[in-house]
Amino acid sequence: MTKLRRRRLSYLERAFDVELPAETPDLCATPADAAEYLVRTLAVVEEAPPLRGTAAMAVEEAMREVLRIDPSVVVATASLEELRGRMSRALLLRRLEEELRCSVPRLKWAVGEVILAAAFLYWSVGALIASWGGAGAFRSLPRLPILLGLLSALIAGLGAWLLLRVGLFRHPIAYVAGLVTWLVATQPSRLRGGTAWSKAQVTEVVEAVFVTTDPTRESRSTDVASAAVRTAIALLRAVVVFATVSVLLRVFSA
């Protein structure tokens, strides 16, 4: 069983409070297959209110309470980045969890960039200390490349700190519509209010689970901050590579 299939089965089991047979090959093949199987398994009724409308109202109310904004701006296409104002992303997620009474995906960290920045900061500071009082090849290094290396390291360190502090919203909840979908996928029983399942509601939840667990959407996330962060990371890499090569050439040519 693939990791994606196991994840979808887990989501569906929690959403519908049932145990699904892992050996059924086509259960998670498409939303239609999963919905058809669950409709046969559950005692469904013909008519019941749609869950998405209830979830949308819950998200709108939570945003109004947390951010103190006009509910009219909480539209499906609005991103959390646009709505949060000066509130930090981590604080916004924590407050939304309290208001919605459910967990939401954590912020996405650029771990690789943090490791790169920390490693280069360590190298540059060591080179600077050695050039002013150490022995060996470092003593003969010109001061300018070292200062440039230190400056780029400080920039890298600042970028790493900002990435750790800021993070990015993950795709399921980067937008209001995604947060609504997340609620439908993870909190359907609470949204139903104790009523029986309808076929339309089963289909809603299954489609929400498939959207939420779609791995291709993570790379297509268009968070407003992500473009700026990607640009900063590209510049950071260029500075790090240039300064590192410069220092290494000076060391080995001394």
Owning domain of residue 88: 3-106+170-219
Q: What is the mean pLDDT of the chain?
A: 76
Would you state the pLDDT for residue 81? Answer: 84
Please compute the mean of the pLDDT values over residues 37-42 and round it to a whole number.
Answer: 88
User: Do both 20 and 145 map to the same domain?
Assistant: no
Ranges 32-46, 50-64, 135-149, 165-179, most confident: 50-64
Please compute the mean of the pLDDT values over residues 122-140 and round it to a whole number.
Answer: 52
Strand-pairing partners, residue 41, are none
Please compute the mean of the pLDDT values over residues 173-181 and round it to a whole number.
Answer: 92
Query: How far, in Å, CA of 55 to CA of 188, rounded?
Result: 9
In the predicted structure, residue 35 carries a pLDDT above the cut 50: yes
In the predicted structure, residue 4 carries a pLDDT above the cut 60: yes
User: Do both 131 and 244 map to the same domain?
Assistant: yes
User: Do both 84 and 191 map to the same domain?
Assistant: yes
Q: Which residues touch 199 (CB under 8 Å, ≥6 apart)?
A: 35, 39, 44, 46
Query: How far, in Å, CA of 82 to CA of 70, rounded?
Result: 13
User: Do both 213 and 158 map to the same domain?
Assistant: no
pLDDT band at 94 (very low <50, low <70, confident <90, very high): very high
Q: What is the dihedral of CA 9, 14, 16, 18, to 10 degrees?
A: 70
Please compute the mean of the pLDDT values over residues 211-236 and round it to a whole number.
Answer: 58
User: Do both 133 and 153 map to the same domain?
Assistant: yes
Strand-pairing partners, residue 44, are 197
Would you state the pLDDT for residue 222? Answer: 41
User: Do both 237 and 141 map to the same domain?
Assistant: yes
User: Do both 13 and 128 map to the same domain?
Assistant: no
User: Do both 116 and 185 map to the same domain?
Assistant: no
pLDDT band at 240 (very low <50, low <70, confident <90, very high): low
Are 174 and 77 in contact, with CB atoms under 8 Å apart? Answer: no
User: Do both 214 and 237 map to the same domain?
Assistant: no
User: Do both 7 and 76 map to the same domain?
Assistant: yes
User: Do both 154 and 232 map to the same domain?
Assistant: yes
pLDDT over 90, % of the chain: 28
Map residue 85 onto helix, strand or coil.
Answer: coil
Sign of the alpha-carbon dihedral angle for 21, 27, 29, 35: negative
Q: Which residues touch 133 (CB under 8 Å, ≥6 apart)?
A: none
The helix (run of H) or strand (run of E) holding residue 250 is helix 224-253
Would you state the pLDDT for residue 173? Answer: 87
User: Do both 243 and 123 map to the same domain?
Assistant: yes
Query: How far, in Å, CA of 92 to CA of 106, rounded?
Result: 11
Q: Which residues touch 194 (CB under 8 Å, ≥6 apart)?
A: none
Number of domains in the chain: 2
Please compute the mean of the pLDDT values over residues 210-225 and round it to a whole number.
Answer: 61
Residue with more model confidence, 105 or 229: 105
CA distances from 215 to 79, 92, 172 (A): 20, 24, 10
**Least confident range of 74-88, 176-190, 195-209, 225-239:** 225-239
Residue whose C-alpha is closest to residue 175's, from 114, 130, 226: 226
For the full predicted model, state whether its pTM sits above 0.85: no
